[in-house]
A and B are shown apart, each in its own frame.
Chain A
Amino acid sequence: METRAPVPKAKSLARSFSLAFAFVLAALVPELFIVKPFLPYPFLFLFLGAVVASAWFGGMSGGLFAVILSIIAVDYFFIPPVKSLTFSPPVALYLASFVVCALAASWVSSAIKRSEVALKDARDQLEARVVERTAALMKTEAELTRLSRVLSMGELTASIAHEIKQPLTAVVMNGHASIEWLSASPPNLDKVRQSTEKIIQDGTRAGAILSRIRALFKKETSTKDWLDINDVIQELVALVRAEAQKQHVSLRLELATDLPKLMGDRIQLQQVVLNLMMNGIDAIAAADNTTRDLLVSSWKQGEEEIGVRVEDTGVGLNPENVEKIFDPFFTTKPHGIGMGLSISRTIVESHEGKLWATPRPAGGTIFQFNIPVHAPKLG
Chain B
Amino acid sequence: MNNPNSVVYIVDDDTSVRDSISNLLESVGLRAKTFGSTEEFLTAPRTEAPSCLVLDVMLPGMRGLEFQEMLRKSGASIPIIFITAHGDIPMTSKAMKAGAIEFLAKPFPKEDLLAAIHRGLQLDETMRTQNAELTSLQGRFEQLSPREREVMDLVVTGIINKQIAGQLGISEVTVKIHRRQVMEKMNAESLADLVRMSDKLKNQILK
On A, residues with C-beta under 8 Å from B are 158, 161-162, 165-174, 176-178, 180-181, 184, 188, 191, 194-195, 198, 201-202, 205, 242, 245-246
Query: What's the least CB distance linking A98 to chain B, in Å?
Result: 95
Residue of A nearest to B108 (CB): A169
* Residue B172 at the chain A interface, CB threshold 8 Å: no
Using a CB-CB cutoff of 8 Å, which residues 3-27 of chain B contact chain A? 14, 16-17, 19-21, 23-24, 26-27
Chain B residues within 8 Å of A205, by CB: 16
The reply to whether B106 and A168 form a contact with Cβ atoms under 8 Å apart is: yes
The reply to whether B23 and A172 form a contact with Cβ atoms under 8 Å apart is: no
The reply to whether A170 and B19 form a contact with Cβ atoms under 8 Å apart is: yes
Q: How far is the CA of A153 from the CA of B109 in the complex (A)?
A: 29
* Residue B132 at the chain A interface, CB threshold 8 Å: no
Query: What's the least CB distance linking A284 to chain B, in Å?
Result: 16
* Residue B85 at the chain A interface, CB threshold 8 Å: yes
The reply to whether B110 and A173 form a contact with Cβ atoms under 8 Å apart is: yes
The reply to whether A169 and B107 form a contact with Cβ atoms under 8 Å apart is: yes
The reply to whether A201 and B26 form a contact with Cβ atoms under 8 Å apart is: no
Partner of B20, one of A173, A180, A181, A184: A173
Q: How far is the CA of A325 from the CA of B59 in the complex (A)?
A: 34
The reply to whether B106 and A169 form a contact with Cβ atoms under 8 Å apart is: yes
On B, residues with C-beta under 8 Å from A are 14, 16-17, 19-21, 23-24, 26-28, 58, 60, 83, 85-86, 106-110
The reply to whether A246 and B19 form a contact with Cβ atoms under 8 Å apart is: no
Query: What's the least CB distance linking B171 to chain A, in Å?
Result: 70
The reply to whether B19 and A245 form a contact with Cβ atoms under 8 Å apart is: no
Chain B residues within 8 Å of A169, by CB: 17, 20, 83, 85, 106-108
Chain A residues within 8 Å of B16, by CB: 166-167, 170, 198, 201-202, 205
The reply to whether A166 and B17 form a contact with Cβ atoms under 8 Å apart is: yes
Chosen A-B contacts, 6 in total, with CB atoms closer than 8 Å, are A161-B86, A169-B17, A172-B110, A176-B27, A178-B27, A198-B20
Residue of A nearest to B23 (CB): A177
The reply to whether A245 and B23 form a contact with Cβ atoms under 8 Å apart is: no
Chain A residues within 8 Å of B110, by CB: 172-173, 176
The reply to whether A245 and B106 form a contact with Cβ atoms under 8 Å apart is: no
Q: How far is the CA of A273 from the CA of B123 in the complex (A)?
A: 49
With most chain B CB atoms within 10 A of its CB, the pick from A168, A180, A188, A242 is A180
The reply to whether B85 and A166 form a contact with Cβ atoms under 8 Å apart is: yes
The reply to whether A177 and B58 form a contact with Cβ atoms under 8 Å apart is: no
The reply to whether B24 and A173 form a contact with Cβ atoms under 8 Å apart is: yes
The reply to whether B60 and A245 form a contact with Cβ atoms under 8 Å apart is: yes
The reply to whether B108 and A174 form a contact with Cβ atoms under 8 Å apart is: no
Q: How far is the CA of A20 from the CA of B56 in the complex (A)?
A: 96
The reply to whether B86 and A170 form a contact with Cβ atoms under 8 Å apart is: no
Chain B residues within 8 Å of A191, by CB: 23, 26-27
Query: What's the least CB distance linking A189 to chain B, in Å?
Result: 13
Residue of A nearest to B58 (CB): A245
Query: What's the least CB distance linking A290 to chain B, in Å?
Result: 15
Chain B residues within 8 Å of A161, by CB: 85-86
Given A158-B86, A165-B85, A172-B108, 14 additional A-B pairs, CB 8 A: A165-B107, A166-B85, A169-B108, A170-B17, A172-B107, A172-B109, A172-B110, A173-B110, A174-B20, A176-B24, A177-B26, A184-B27, A191-B23, A245-B58
**Which 5 A-B residue pairs are closest in the complex by CB-CB distance?**
A180-B27, A173-B20, A165-B85, A170-B20, A170-B16
Q: How far is the CA of A161 from the CA of B85 in the complex (A)?
A: 7
Chain A residues within 8 Å of B24, by CB: 173-174, 176-177, 180
Chain B residues within 8 Å of A201, by CB: 16
The reply to whether A177 and B19 form a contact with Cβ atoms under 8 Å apart is: no
Query: What's the least CB distance linking B109 to chain A, in Å?
Result: 8
The reply to whether A177 and B20 form a contact with Cβ atoms under 8 Å apart is: yes
Query: What's the least CB distance linking B28 to chain A, in Å?
Result: 6
With most chain A CB atoms within 10 A of its CB, the pick from B17, B27, B60 is B27
Q: How far is the CA of A168 from the CA of B14 in the complex (A)?
A: 12
The reply to whether B23 and A174 form a contact with Cβ atoms under 8 Å apart is: yes
Known: A162-B85, A173-B110. A198 touches B60 (CB 8 A): no
Q: How far is the CA of A202 from the CA of B16 in the complex (A)?
A: 8
Chain B residues within 8 Å of A170, by CB: 14, 16-17, 19-20
Chain B residues within 8 Å of A162, by CB: 58, 85-86
